[in-house]
Amino acid sequence: MSRRQFLASAAAIGAASAVQSLIIPPAAWAAAPKIIRADTRVIEVAGRAANVLGLVQPDGTHGLTVSAADGFQVRLENALAAPTLIHWHGLTPPFGQDGVPDLPQPLLQPGQSYDYNFPIATPGTHWMHAHTLQEQQLLAAPLIVTDPAEDGADEQPVVVLLHDFSFKTPEELLAGLTGSAPASDNGGMAGHAMSGMGTQGMSTERGMAMPMDVNDIEYDAYLSNDRTLDDPQVFTVERNGTVRLRLINGATATAFWIDTGTLEGEVIAVDGNPVVPLRGSGFPLAMGQRIDIRLSIPGDKGAWPILALREGGVQRTGFVLATMGGEVKRIASAGDRAGPPLDLSFETRLAAAKPLAERIADIHEPVELGGAMQGYSWTLNGRTWSNHQPIPVKKGGRVELTMRNASMMGHPMHLHGHHFQVVAIDGRRFAGAVRDTVWMPPMREVTVAFDAVNPGTWAFHCHHLYHMATGMMTVVDYIA
Ligand code: C2O
Ligand code: CU
């Protein structure tokens, strides 16, 4: 199914009157709105000019920072030659302003604009991106919501959006995945244009070695704020200063390990939500996820690279923190060791700083993640989007979704309109992180809980763009 057909089928569902009746039109703005323009840009990747898209303010700033106190008052303008729409990933708008095509807003036509206006309940490190294949073309940018309670904090924000870049069009990449490649018995794609497909040995609980699939696309480059390690962004930091990394995995199909090197960090938030601080120097970051890491800069002059290593590959991207006079050394874009597959060991150690209220769930729904590289079809509860069955919940209820990954590939699962708390991993209950996207490794089970307080028909999907585009999406649906 092409993206156009995919959108058309979404349109048919979006047209249902029950959906339309839920739309709350935005109220008038109190002050002049911020303008965000979807536009074309030219960046340089590996010495070549690359035509990409972007989300820019009139002064040229890519991305947006707003205060939670001001709410979200934004006019989105489409300066592209093609229709588009932007989703505010991490915000919990009223249904109608979420930015998923036909859920319920139709695509924004060239030259047109949409107005958004709603209070922000979720400060933190978020992002905004097209909910279409345009995400691959970098129609994605940071969306930082500052918390007035932290206004006095003496820390320097360093905002970086990671991305996977290809000189091919997303349509070509998708066709390469769904094409009639001869499938080999390990589920790999030998002889296929997508040579980046990796298979890693994985031991199951039963001790059997199973082939696990990572990285179904070979990209031309991995970017940190549009730049590769050949010409990384260097942030000037102060000796003895405190830096707050706000890192966003805006890649479409690549999970990373963040490596803070010799600077030990303290994770203070995931997906914008505060966690009990956790120290370390290596942290997993799946597509769609964000992580805030606090770093103390040493008292001597110096330079510290912060790297993002591709899961299951030697490729890496990153940026540098340097004091005045600190010597920035060249770092190769390929390391000598492949990053391991993402797992749940970090997730297991996270604890929400602001957990959900204790409550027995009244709604339990299983969600089975299925699919395979062979045929490139990915499903939720055995169904693709064109055939999806909404996950029914009731307004006001405490919902628990128990996701089980029955496929041999990891999936970052994202729910719109809510943040959820991770409350169990493989049946073991704990008060884990509150977040909006959780990594589901092969053959693992994760339960998330949320309160159904934001009625709508909310997208629930894998944040691997090509898994979503080939069907790995459904909705969580309830009315006011
Ligand atoms: Cu970041 Cu459904 O999206
Ligand atoms: Cu997936």
pLDDT tens-digit map of 438-465: 999 999 999 999 999 999 999 999 999 9
Neighbours of ion ligand 2 (CB under 5 A): 411, 462, 464, 467
For the stretch 306-354, pLDDT in tens is 999 999 999 999 999 999 999 999 999 999 899 899 999 999 999 999 9
Q: In the block, which residue shows the tokens 């709603």?
A: 118
Name which of 451, 419, 450, 458 is nearest 437 in CA terms: 419
> Looking at residue 134, what DSSP letter applies?
G
Closest-lying ligand 1 atom to the alpha carbon of residue 473: 2
Under the banding of pLDDT at 50, 70 and 90, the label for residue 197 is: very low
Name which of 184, 210, 209, 180 is nearest 197 in CA terms: 184
| Structure token pair of residue 226 | 């549009």
Distance CA 479, CA 401 (A): 18
Q: In the block, which residue shows the tokens 């959006």?
A: 161
Name which of 208, 92, 91, 69 is nearest 452 in CA terms: 92
Regarding the beta carbon of 459 and ligand 1, being less than 6 Å apart is answered yes
Task: Name which residue leads in pLDDT, 286 or 188.
Answer: 286
- Residue 276 in 3-state DSSP? strand
Flag the least confident range among 24-33, 192-201, 390-399, 459-468: 192-201
Regarding the beta carbon of 87 and ligand 1, being less than 6 Å apart is answered yes
Asked whether 444 and 426 are in contact (CB, 8 A), the reply is yes
Distance CA 422, CA 449 (A): 7
Regarding the beta carbon of 290 and ligand 1, being less than 6 Å apart is answered no
- Ligand 1 centre to CA of 226 (Å) is 20
Distance CA 199, CA 414 (A): 25
- Ligand 1 centre to CA of 258 (Å) is 21
Name which of 127, 131, 132, 133 is nearest 62 in CA terms: 127
Asked whether 211 and 199 are in contact (CB, 8 A), the reply is yes
- 58 pLDDT higher than 50: yes
| Structure token pair of residue 37 | 């323009």
Asked whether 212 and 409 are in contact (CB, 8 A), the reply is yes
Distance CA 419, CA 448 (A): 10
Please give the pLDDT value at position 90: 98
Torsion of CA 395, 397, 398, 404, to 10 degrees: -70
Q: Please provide the average confidence, as pLDDT, over all residues in the chain.
A: 90
Please give the pLDDT value at position 210: 56
Regarding the beta carbon of 129 and ligand 1, being less than 6 Å apart is answered yes
Distance CA 244, CA 179 (A): 43
Regarding the beta carbon of 306 and ligand 1, being less than 6 Å apart is answered no
Please give the pLDDT value at position 188: 27
Strands (E), 218-344: 221-224, 234-236, 242-249, 256-259, 265-270, 273-280, 282-285, 290-296, 303-310, 316-322
Regarding the beta carbon of 464 and ligand 1, being less than 6 Å apart is answered no
Asked whether 143 and 56 are in contact (CB, 8 A), the reply is no
Distance CA 155, CA 333 (A): 29
Q: What radius of gyration, in Å, describes the C-alpha atoms of the chain?
A: 21
Closest C-alpha to ligand 1, atom 1? 89
> Looking at residue 353, what DSSP letter applies?
S
Closest-lying ligand 1 atom to the alpha carbon of residue 288: 1
- Ligand 2 centre to CA of 43 (Å) is 28
Regarding the beta carbon of 131 and ligand 1, being less than 6 Å apart is answered yes
Regarding the beta carbon of 416 and ligand 1, being less than 6 Å apart is answered yes
Amino acid at 194: M
Regarding the beta carbon of 62 and ligand 1, being less than 6 Å apart is answered no
List CB contacts of 428: < 8 A, sequence separation 6 or more.
Answer: none
Distance CA 215, CA 257 (A): 14
- Ligand 1 centre to CA of 330 (Å) is 34
- 86 pLDDT higher than 80: yes
Q: At what angle do helices 170-178 and 3-14 cross, to 10 degrees?
A: 90
Closest C-alpha to ligand 1, atom 3? 89
Name which of 375, 376, 372, 365 is nearest 406 in CA terms: 372
Flag the least confident range among 21-25, 29-33, 426-430: 21-25
List CB contacts of 265: < 8 A, sequence separation 6 or more.
Answer: 245, 279, 280, 281, 283, 293, 294, 295
- Ligand 1 centre to CA of 89 (Å) is 6
Residue 459 CA: which ligand is closest? 1
Asked whether 157 and 147 are in contact (CB, 8 A), the reply is no
Residue 466 CA: which ligand is closest? 2
For the stretch 243-274, pLDDT in tens is 999 999 999 999 999 999 999 999 999 999 99
For the stretch 389-430, pLDDT in tens is 999 999 999 999 999 999 999 999 999 999 999 999 999 999
Regarding the beta carbon of 89 and ligand 1, being less than 6 Å apart is answered yes
* Tally of residues, the chain: 480
Asked whether 20 and 104 are in contact (CB, 8 A), the reply is yes
Please give the pLDDT value at position 3: 42
Under the banding of pLDDT at 50, 70 and 90, the label for residue 25 is: low
- Ligand 2 centre to CA of 329 (Å) is 36
How far apart, in Å, do the first and last CA atoms of the chain sit?
A: 33
Regarding the beta carbon of 414 and ligand 1, being less than 6 Å apart is answered yes
Task: Name which residue leads in pLDDT, 200 or 114.
Answer: 114
- Ligand 2 centre to CA of 27 (Å) is 36
Regarding the beta carbon of 461 and ligand 1, being less than 6 Å apart is answered yes
Under the banding of pLDDT at 50, 70 and 90, the label for residue 46 is: confident
